[in-house]
Each structure stands twice: as structure tokens, then as C-alpha cells.
């Protein structure tokens, strides 16, 4: 069984990149965000243009990353889920920011699949080591490709936990979906069965009811009662 877990707005209480832009970039970053939301530009173009607007030194950015607030209920969920499943973080955000935030909270080290943050004088750049040109979501990293690769070694269904546009594509291939934020509307529009959640306490309450012995036999979501 494989859990693919988003970070920004899912494990983190707020979207990390949006919060960083609010603090270190000109307010016009929001105009670029709206272009992306309207479908006028891809996620990659949106992020590249916004990241170029960040003006801060290395120390200021590291302090910001250490201050990222995380959902405290993630840890009990993680401890339970990893008794019977593989779990990774897959994010169209910034790998270094995720790792610093998790490390600062004192949580276990979890595999992170994300875009790569590079420090430059008075700012940062972003590169896309996990980008797929044929990714239908147009994201910097393809969560579907990560899921397909990792599921070869993980017996059982693929479970997505996410909140936004970068999770839309993989929600169509996942066996079980936990959705919050705009991902709920995407699932409703596309008739994708899903659990709604606000915190990982909600997720934990649901997965504790699962017949784990059946999940290990690779049974799909039809055998699991969905909300």
C-alpha cells in the first residue's frame, strides 16, 4: 500500500510558497497566480516567474522555512499508517523548504519528491528534476510518475492525500482519495470518489476503520466504505 501525501496546505497549515511570496516578493506575484488559476500559464511558468520575485538572503529564507507551521495531527497519522504502508511526500513545491520544516519539527525523515530549490545571491531559483514533458497537469513534478514508480514495490492500493491543482491529475489514478481545498471541487466535477478532510486527525479516524488484511491483498476502493 502506498500513501502519496501532498505538503503545501496539506501537511503544512498554509501554502509555503504563497506565504514566502507574501513575505519576500512584490504583491504583483498574485497577478501571476491568477493567470495560472485561470489556465493561461502552466504551473511551471507560474512558479518560475514567482520564485524570481523572491528577494531575501539565505539566512532570512532558512529562518522562514524553519517557521513553517505543520499540522500536528500528521505525526499520529504517520505512525499508524507506516505500520502497514509505504508513505512519501510528493509536492510541486520546494524540496529544501519541506525538509527544513520537517526536521525543525523533529519528525521522522520521510522521502520527499519535489522540485529542487537552489540558493542564489538575495534569492532562490527552482529546477525540476522530476518534471515529465507529457504530464497532463503541467506541473513541475509529476505525482503520477512518482506513484507509478513506487507502486511497483508497494503491494496494495495507492492512496492520495492532497488539497489542490497539483493533485488533480493523480486523483484520477489513485485508488483512494482524501481531498480538501480545491481538490474537493475537482473530485466532485469529475465524479471521483473521495473522503473530505481538514486535518490528519480526520484521515486517521477513517483509516483506523479499514480492513487492513484485505488492503494487503490489493483490493480496490470498492471494498472500502467511502464518505
Average pLDDT, the chain: 90
Predicted confidence (pLDDT) at residue 30 exceeds the cutoff of 70: yes
Which pLDDT score is estimated for 218? 46
Cα dist from 224 to 6, 176, 221, whole Å: 22, 9, 5
Question: Is residue 40 located within the same domain as residue 79?
Answer: no
**The overall pTM is greater than 0.95:** no
Number of folded domains that form the chain: 2
User: Which structural domain, as residue segments, surrounds residue 50?
Assistant: 21-65
CATH number for 6: 3.40.50.1000
Question: Is residue 202 located within the same domain as residue 103?
Answer: yes
Question: Is residue 26 located within the same domain as residue 93?
Answer: no
Which pLDDT score is estimated for 104? 96
Question: Is residue 132 located within the same domain as residue 52?
Answer: no
Which stretch of 19-28, 48-57, 102-111, 210-219 has the lowest confidence by average pLDDT? Answer: 210-219
Which pLDDT score is estimated for 154? 67
Question: Is residue 176 located within the same domain as residue 80?
Answer: yes
Question: Is residue 138 located within the same domain as residue 54?
Answer: no
Q: What is the mean pLDDT of residues 91-115?
A: 96
Question: Is residue 61 located within the same domain as residue 79?
Answer: no
Burial 184-216 (b: 16+ CB within 10 A, else e): bebbeeeebebbebeebebbbebbeebeeeebe
139 or 220, higher pLDDT: 139
Round to whole Å and give the CA distance between 187 and 184.
Answer: 5
Question: Is residue 83 located within the same domain as residue 136?
Answer: yes
Which pLDDT score is estimated for 223? 41
DSSP one-letter string for 29-70:
HHHHHHHHHTTSS-HHHHHHHHHTT----HHHHHHHHHT--B
Q: What is the mean pLDDT of residues 220-224?
A: 43
Which pLDDT score is estimated for 32? 95
pLDDT in tens, 58-101: 999 999 999 999 999 999 999 999 999 999 999 999 999 999 99
Question: Is residue 102 located within the same domain as residue 155?
Answer: yes
Round to whole Å and give the CA distance between 66 and 85.
Answer: 28
| Percent of the chain with pLDDT strictly greater than 70 | 91
Question: Is residue 87 located within the same domain as residue 6?
Answer: yes
Q: What is the mean pLDDT of residues 112-121?
A: 95
Predicted confidence (pLDDT) at residue 221 exceeds the cutoff of 60: no
Question: Is residue 46 located within the same domain as residue 141?
Answer: no
Specify the residue for cell string 505538503. 7
Question: Is residue 50 located within the same domain as residue 92?
Answer: no
- Grid coordinates given for 174: 489513485
pLDDT in tens, 149-168: 998 776 689 999 999 989 99
Amino acid at each position: 500500500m502506498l500513501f502519496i501525501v501532498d505538503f503545501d496546505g496539506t501537511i503544512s497549515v498554509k501554502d509555503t510558497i504563497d506565504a514566502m511570496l507574501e513575505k519576500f516578493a512584490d504583491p504583483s506575484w498574485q497577478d501571476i497566480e491568477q493567470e495560472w488559476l485561470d489556465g493561461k500559464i502552466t504551473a511551471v511558468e507560474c512558479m518560475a516567474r514567482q520564485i524570481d520575485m523572491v528577494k531575501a538572503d539565505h539566512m532570512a529564507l532558512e529562518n522562514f522555512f524553519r517557521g513553517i507551521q505543520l499540522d500536528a495531527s500528521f505525526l499520529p497519522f504517520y505512525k499508524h499508517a507506516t505500520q502497514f504502508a509505504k508513505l512519501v511526500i510528493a509536492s510541486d513545491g520546494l524540496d529544501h523548504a519541506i525538509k527544513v520544516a520537517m526536521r525543525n519539527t523533529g519528525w521522522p525523515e520521510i522521502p520527499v519528491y519535489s522540485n529542487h530549490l537552489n540558493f542564489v545571491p538575495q534569492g532562490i531559483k527552482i529546477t525540476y528534476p522530476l518534471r515529465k514533458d507529457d504530464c497532463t497537469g503541467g506541473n513541475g513534478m509529476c505525482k503520477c510518475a512518482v506513484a507509478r514508480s513506487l507502486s511497483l514495490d508497494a503491494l496494495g492500493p495507492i492512496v492520495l492525500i492532497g488539497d489542490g491543482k497539483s493533485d488533480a491529475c493523480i486523483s484520477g489514478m489513485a485508488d483512494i482519495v482524501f481531498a480538501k481545498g480545491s481538490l474537493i471541487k475537482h473530485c466532485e466535477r469529475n465524479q471521483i470518489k473521495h473522503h473530505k478532510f481538514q486535518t490528519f486527525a480526520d484521515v486517521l479516524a477513517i483509516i483506523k476503520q479499514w480492513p487492513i488484511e484485505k488492503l494487503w491483498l490489493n483490493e480496490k476502493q470498492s471494498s472500502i466504505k467511502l464518505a
